Structures are given as C-alpha cells and as structure tokens.
Amino acid sequence: MSKIINRYIFKEMAVPFVIVITVLTITSLLSKVIIAVNLLVNYGVGFFILLKFFLFSMPWFLIYIIPMSFLIAVLITYNRLSSDNEITAMKASGLDLLRISMPVAVMALIAYFIATFFTVYAFAWGNVSSKRLIYEVARSKATIGLKERVFNDAFDGLILYANHIIAENGEMEGIFISDQRDEQDKFIVVAKSGIISSDQQAEKITLRLLNGTIHKSEESGLYKIITFTTYDLNLRMKQGEVKNPDASKANSDLTVSQLKEKITDMKRQGSAIPPSYIIDLHQRFALPASIFVFSFLGVPLGIQRVRTTRFTSFSVGLGVVLFYYVLSTALESFGKKGLINPIAAAWGANIFMAITGVAIFYKAAKDSPIKSLAWLEEKKDAVFAVIRSILSWR
C-alpha cells in the first residue's frame, strides 16, 4: 500500500515540478530578449544562432530555478492533498508524516543531481559559450554593426565614416578614418574603397584600404600627405562592447576543477586567497544542497490549513525562496568583505534554513500548528497594507 501511495504522491509532484521549471525558464529568458534583438538587428544572425544563445543562457537561470520549482511543486502537491483530506486519510491508515514524505526525498535526490550537474559543469560552460558566441558574431560580422554616412566608433581608437557599406561582403566606398590610437602619432586616412575581413583563429579584424591618402601633421609644423594603393589597418573591437571570453575569465566562467586549481596555485605561490574564490567554489555545492533544505520546509508548510486564498502554495514558495536568496546574498556580501568566514558565508543560509525546516517539520509531525503562518493569516490585511505602502513610496 505504501508503494502505491509513494508512486501516487511522486506523480503528483512531478507534473507541477516540470511545469514550474518550464514557465520560470521561459520567463527568465525574456530578460535576454534585448541582447537577442541586438544580435538579430545589428548583426543579422539567423534563427540557429539565436537558439544557441538562448541555450547557452539557460544554465545560469536553472541553477536557481530548479530548487525554487522543487519547493513550489512540494507545496502545491501537499497543499492539495491536505485540502482534499487525503493527508488525514493517510494518517488514519497508520502512516506518519515521515513516511508520507518519502516521495519528497526521492524527488529531492533527482532534483539535486540535476542541479549539481548544472552548477558544476553546465553553468561555466553556458557562461563562456554565450560570451564566446557574441564575441565571434561581433568579430565575424564586424561591418554589419556599421552605418552608412555616420561617424562610427565601434572600433577602439578609430572613427570611421563610409558613404556606402555592403554588409554581406564587407566592402565599403568613400572612406574617411580618424586614427587616434597613438597619442603621439595621430593621422587621417581617406580612401576610395576598402574591404573589412575577420580572422577568427588569429582574433584579428583587418580593414584593407584601396587608392587613398594618409594625412599626418608633425610636431615641427610639417604636414605630410602619403599616397597609397593598398594600406592595411588592424582593428580592434571596443573592449566595453565585446570582450574575448578566453582572454580573461571571471569566477563564473570557471568550472569547479578550474576554480580549485586556481586556489591551489595561489596557495603554492603564498598569495592571499580572495574570499570571493572560496565563496564561489562552495556555492556551486550549496545551491543544489538547498533542495534538501526546502524538502524539510515544503511538506509542513504544504499541509498547513490556511483559510485565505491569498496565501497560495505558489506565493508561500516564492516567499521562502526570496528569504533564502536575500539571506544568502547578504551573507555572501559579508563574506567577500571579510566580515565573516567565506565558508560560513556560502553555507550560512542553508544551515539557518535547515534548522528552521527541521523545527517546523518536527512540529508538523506532532500535529502542532505553525504559529508564523497563523499569525500571517490573522494579520494579512496589515501585512498587505505595509507592502502596498512600501511599493507606492518607491
């Protein structure tokens, strides 16, 4: 009988778990629409490139979405079972809360391994791949972002003007360039035509100018005019607009093994290890572990009888997750400033929420009401009034 009940509860959780992940992922990807539109309009990329960009962006969202979706799925399932008196029937048949919660443990293990895969492997891969994709698109299609009859400053230290630009093959006509890359050697180039090309392997953009002149003013007062048939200019995209992701990587771009290697190298060299490195490393494991913390909170919060419809399972889940991430962010900030131990900063939110979850689970197992929810229900009008006043003040 218990196996049938376990399978039944597990199926009830699996459906909302998948649905919530899908909805939250699609919602989160909307924040990348501006970058996608920029790639589409300014660089003329195709559907496949946009699809790759969204795919590379997903791991960053999923490391947060998976624990959140797990908690909401548990709350929805056990709230529905409690509302339909199925929890009461299970207890009457001799099942205690711990046995009723066994499907949550199985679901937590599955969600944990999925989340760990994303934090340990896919997170760094997605970050580097999305940056590399944007970088390669910007380099390979350098002329697409340029506009005709406009002074373009897309390249570092150069102002480029062209009467006509053919974005498909990089050809330009009526070119005027102000080269200010060297403070001691500034000059102006005027050319009849030119063609811009990219070498992705050499990470180089070259503008080959044809039939033009170079105008240069010397400190002695001399003014030089140099005529050329062919002249090559090596260009570099502005660092603020597009950066080579392989040149310098942030902690979020490093895998767990690379982060460990970096910390080990610092120890060997006798250098002080920045707290951010230790925090970022431990958070790769602390985030998936939050799923087990939420499993202790989800079941007792889900079976509570809350009479008002305002406190739905979804809103309770969002409230718990929001509190967890606010606490985690605050501890992380303290840890990076050296106010608390970096390991405590990474795991502090999990420890606090785990203690709270075990206490709440114990009270629910003893059929004791959770006073905090009862207080929220009694003071709901005052709570919502305070929230509305804060939002209106902002």
Q: For residue 276, is pLDDT > 80?
A: yes
**CA angle (288 as vertex; 353, 284 as ends), nearest 5:** 110
Quote the pLDDT of residue 246. 57
Quote the pLDDT of residue 351. 93
Determine what percent of the chain is predicted with pLDDT higher than 70: 81
Q: For residue 322, is pLDDT > 50?
A: yes
Quote the pLDDT of residue 76. 87
Per-residue pLDDT band for 7 (boundaries 50, 70, 90) equals confident
The label of the residue with tokens 């046995």 reads: 99
276 close to 305: Cβ distance less than 8 angstroms: no
How far is CA 295 from its chain centroid?
A: 24
Quote the pLDDT of residue 1. 55
Q: What is the pLDDT of residues 346-376, one digit of tens each?
A: 999 999 999 988 888 888 777 666 655 555 5
Q: What is the pLDDT of residues 222-247, one digit of tens each?
A: 888 889 999 988 887 665 455 555 55
> Which comes out higher in pLDDT, residue 204 or 261?
261
Alpha-carbon gap, residue 299 to 360, rounded angstroms: 9
Say which DSSP state 274 is in. P
Q: For residue 158, is pLDDT > 50?
A: yes
Per-residue pLDDT band for 378 (boundaries 50, 70, 90) equals low
> Which comes out higher in pLDDT, residue 309 or 374?
374
Quote the pLDDT of residue 311. 46
- Give the count of beta carbons closer than 10 Å to the beta carbon of residue 22: 12
Highest average pLDDT, of 251-255, 341-345, 389-393, comes from 341-345
Strand order in the sheet with 187-199: 158-166, 171-179, 187-199, 204-217, 223-235
pLDDT, mean of residues 132-158: 74
Q: What is the pLDDT of residues 57-77, one digit of tens each?
A: 888 889 999 999 999 899 888
Quote the pLDDT of residue 393. 46
Q: For residue 210, is pLDDT > 90?
A: yes
Per-residue pLDDT band for 389 (boundaries 50, 70, 90) equals low
Q: What is the pLDDT of residues 13-50, one digit of tens each?
A: 999 999 999 998 988 888 888 877 777 766 667 788 88
Highest average pLDDT, of 54-58, 110-114, 160-164, comes from 110-114
**CA angle (250 as vertex; 32, 201 as ends), nearest 5:** 80
Alpha-carbon gap, residue 311 to 306, rounded angstroms: 7
Q: What is the pLDDT of residues 182-197, one digit of tens each?
A: 877 888 999 999 988 7
pLDDT, mean of residues 257-283: 84
